[in-house]
Structure 1
Amino acid sequence: MKNNLVIQIFLAFIVAIVLGAIVGPGIKIVQPLGDLFLRLIMFIIVPLVLSSLVVGVASTGDLKKLGQLSVKTVGYYLLTTAIAISIGLFIGSVFSPGEGLDIPVSAEQQVESKEAPGIIDTLLNIVPTNPIASLVEGNMLQIIFFAIFLGLGITMLGGNGKVVYSFFEQMAEVMYKITGIVMRFAPVGVFGLVAPTVGEYGLSVLLPLLKVILALAIGCFIHAIIVYSISVKAFGKMSPITFFKGIAPAIFVAFSTSSSAGTLPVTIKCTEENLKIPREISSFVLPLGATINMNGTALYLGVCALFVAQFFGIDLTFTQQVTVVLTATLASIGTAGVPSAGLIMLTMVMTSVGLPLEGIALLAGVDRILDMIRTTVNVMGDAAAAVVVSGNEKNDEDHTQKNDQTSITA
Structure 2
Amino acid sequence: MNISKITSWPLHWKILSGMLLGIVYAIASVQLGWSRFTSDFIAPFGTIFMNLLKLIAVPLVLFSIISGIAGLGSPESLGRLGLKTLSIYLGTTIVAVSLGLLLVNLLKPGKSNDSELILENRIRYELWKSSTGAEDLDEICQICKPENQEVVERVRAATATFSSEEAIESKIEKAKQTQSRGPLSFLVDMVPDNIFTSLNDSKLMIQVIFFGIFFGISLLYVSIERQAVLISFFQATTDVFLKMVDFVMQASPFFVFALMAATISQIAGDDVSKMLPVFASLGLYSITIVFGLVLMAFVIYPLVIHYLAPGIRYTDFLKAISPAQLLAFSSSSSAATLPVTIECMEENMKVDKKYTAFVLPIGATVNMDGTSLYQAVAVVFLAQLHGVDLNFVQQLTIVLTATLASIGAAAVPSAGLIMLIIVLNSVGLNPAWIAIILPIDRILDMCRTVVNVTGDAMVCTLVAKSEEYNHSISNEKGR
TM-score (norm 1): 0.93
CA drift of 1:209 comes to 1.4
What are the within-5 Å matches in structure 2 for residues 342-357 of structure 1? 342-357=416-431
Q: 2:321 aligns with which of 247, 269, 272?
A: 247
What are the within-5 Å matches in structure 2 for residues 127-206 of structure 1? 127-138=191-202, 139-159=204-224, 160-199=226-265, 200-201=267-268, 202-205=275-278
**What is the distance in 1 between the residues matched to 2:347 and 2:192?**
33
SS in 2 for 1:78: helix
Please say if residues 277 and 440 of structure 2, whose CA atoms lie closer than 8 Å, have aligned partners that are also in contact.
Answer: no
Quick one: which amino acid aligns to residue 176 of structure 1?
Answer: L
Structure 1 residues 231 and 259: alpha-carbon distance in aligned structure 2, compared to 1, 3 A threshold? same
Tell me the residue number matched to 2:34: 26
Pair 1:278-2:352 in alignment: yes
Quick one: which amino acid aligns to residue 129 of structure 1?
Answer: D
Q: Which runs of 5+ in 1 are unaligned?
A: 406-410
Which range is displaced more, 331-340 or 277-286? Answer: 331-340
Tell me the residue number matched to 1:226: 299
Which range is displaced more, 90-99 or 242-251? Answer: 90-99
SS in 2 for 1:358: helix
**What is the distance in 2 between the residues matched to 1:337 and 1:121?**
18
Please say if residues 60 and 339 of structure 2, whose CA atoms lie closer than 8 Å, have aligned partners that are also in contact.
Answer: yes
Please say if residues 6 and 248 of structure 1, whose CA atoms lie closer than 8 Å, have aligned partners that are also in contact.
Answer: yes
**What is the distance in 2 between the residues matched to 1:230 and 1:338?**
28
**What is the distance in 2 between the residues matched to 1:78 and 1:256?**
26
Please say if residues 285 and 381 of structure 2, whose CA atoms lie closer than 8 Å, have aligned partners that are also in contact.
Answer: yes
What are the within-5 Å matches in structure 2 for residues 52-63 of structure 1? 52-63=64-75
**What is the distance in 2 between the residues matched to 1:213 and 1:392?**
36
Pair 1:403-2:467 in alignment: no
Rg comparison, structure with higher value: 2
Please say if residues 414 and 442 of structure 2, whose CA atoms lie closer than 8 Å, have aligned partners that are also in contact.
Answer: no
Structure 1 residues 194 and 110: alpha-carbon distance in aligned structure 2, compared to 1, 3 A threshold? closer
CA drift of 1:207 comes to 4.1
Please say if residues 109 and 364 of structure 1, whose CA atoms lie closer than 8 Å, have aligned partners that are also in contact.
Answer: no
**What is the distance in 1 between the residues matched to 2:437 and 2:316?**
35
**Cα offsets for 1:20-41 (capped at 9, x unmatched):** 2233262534212211211111
Please say if residues 37 and 185 of structure 1, whose CA atoms lie closer than 8 Å, have aligned partners that are also in contact.
Answer: no
Pair 1:92-2:104 in alignment: yes
**Cα offsets for 1:48-106 (capped at 9, x unmatched):** 11111111111101111100000111001100000001111122123322223869976
Pair 1:363-2:416 in alignment: no
Pair 1:78-2:84 in alignment: no
Q: 2:408 aligns with which of 308, 323, 334?
A: 334
Tell me the residue number matched to 2:453: 379
Identity of aligned residues (%): 40
Structure 1 residues 286 and 40: alpha-carbon distance in aligned structure 2, compared to 1, 3 A threshold? same
Please say if residues 414 and 445 of structure 2, whose CA atoms lie closer than 8 Å, have aligned partners that are also in contact.
Answer: no
Structure 1 residues 152 and 394: alpha-carbon distance in aligned structure 2, compared to 1, 3 A threshold? same
Quick one: which amino acid aligns to residue 164 of structure 2?
Answer: A
Which range is displaced more, 195-204 or 156-165? Answer: 195-204
Structure 1 residues 291 and 2: alpha-carbon distance in aligned structure 2, compared to 1, 3 A threshold? farther
**What is the aligned-residue RMSD (CA, Å)?**
2.2
CA drift of 1:336 comes to 4.4
Tell me the residue number matched to 1:17: 23
**What is the distance in 2 between the residues matched to 1:311 and 1:55?**
51
Which range is displaced more, 382-391 or 233-242? Answer: 233-242
Please say if residues 364 and 411 of structure 2, whose CA atoms lie closer than 8 Å, have aligned partners that are also in contact.
Answer: no
What are the within-5 Å matches in structure 2 for residues 28-43 of structure 1? 28=38, 29-43=41-55
CA drift of 1:340 comes to 6.6
CA drift of 1:337 comes to 7.9
Which range is displaced more, 298-307 or 158-167? Answer: 158-167
Q: Number of aligned pairs?
A: 405
**What is the distance in 2 between the residues matched to 1:313 and 1:2?**
55
**What is the distance in 2 between the residues matched to 1:363 and 1:109?**
16
Q: 2:164 aligns with which of 99, 104, 107?
A: 107
Quick one: which amino acid aligns to residue 308 of structure 1?
Answer: L
CA drift of 1:219 comes to 0.6
Please say if residues 281 and 440 of structure 2, whose CA atoms lie closer than 8 Å, have aligned partners that are also in contact.
Answer: no
Please say if residues 57 and 338 of structure 2, whose CA atoms lie closer than 8 Å, have aligned partners that are also in contact.
Answer: yes
**What is the distance in 2 between the residues matched to 1:398 and 1:2?**
39
Quick one: which amino acid aligns to residue 131 of structure 1?
Answer: I
Which range is displaced more, 6-15 or 116-125? Answer: 116-125
Please say if residues 141 and 337 of structure 1, whose CA atoms lie closer than 8 Å, have aligned partners that are also in contact.
Answer: no
**Cα offsets for 1:4-28 (capped at 9, x unmatched):** 2111111111222222223326253
CA drift of 1:272 comes to 0.6
CA drift of 1:338 comes to 9.9
